[in-house]
Structure 1
Amino acid sequence: MNRLLRVALGACAIAFATVAGPAAASTYVVTIEQMRFNPPIVTVHSGDSVVWVNRDLVAHTASADLKGFDSGSIAPAASWRYVARAPGSHPYKCLFHPEMHGTLIVKPNP
């Protein structure tokens, strides 16, 4: 293979790697229904979004035990979106109904 062709192929490979970039963030849904978070444990990567959708007849919260995130009141038929950033295990609960609890597990990006 001649030198000019090798340089051109190398430039194409660099351009493709730049355009491809990192993987796109994903969105995960937690349904609040029948006084539960479903699924109760969600595993995501840093940068992914989690949306809590309230399908109950009363308001709820998704409030991290260690103050990492707090949705405030999520009204019936409403939702709240959170972009996960801090890796680790983040237990959370509904402040209005403390028997409702879940865990958000955030993994670092590969």
Structure 2
Amino acid sequence: MKTGLFFIIGFGLGFVVNRWIIGYGHITIELFFSAVLGLAYALAYFVDRPEWKLSKKLLISLVGIIAVQVVGTLFFDSENTLLALIKFCVVFMSYNVVASLSQRKSLR
């Protein structure tokens, strides 16, 4: 339930930033980048479970990366796909770095 909320928050913030601050000029690219940011934020929250092994967390993040790659390759050019992958990785890793610095090793 909360994972969906994190997707919506990430999508909303990503859309505001992509549409009005960065301004790519194409609504489809802005929606794609926003969905990628929402997915990264939701997956980072989803795998933020201290009882899970690192291999399971990495596998789930790899599935997210592959999903972004496939959708980006099908609908956009390689430059936008690469930019989306970089955004996904930055958001995902930033969440995990902040979580690792907390006392509980989790942000849940």
TM-score, structure 2 normalization: 0.22
- Report the structure, 1 or 2, having the larger helix content: 2
TM-score, structure 1 normalization: 0.22
Structure with higher Rg: it is 1
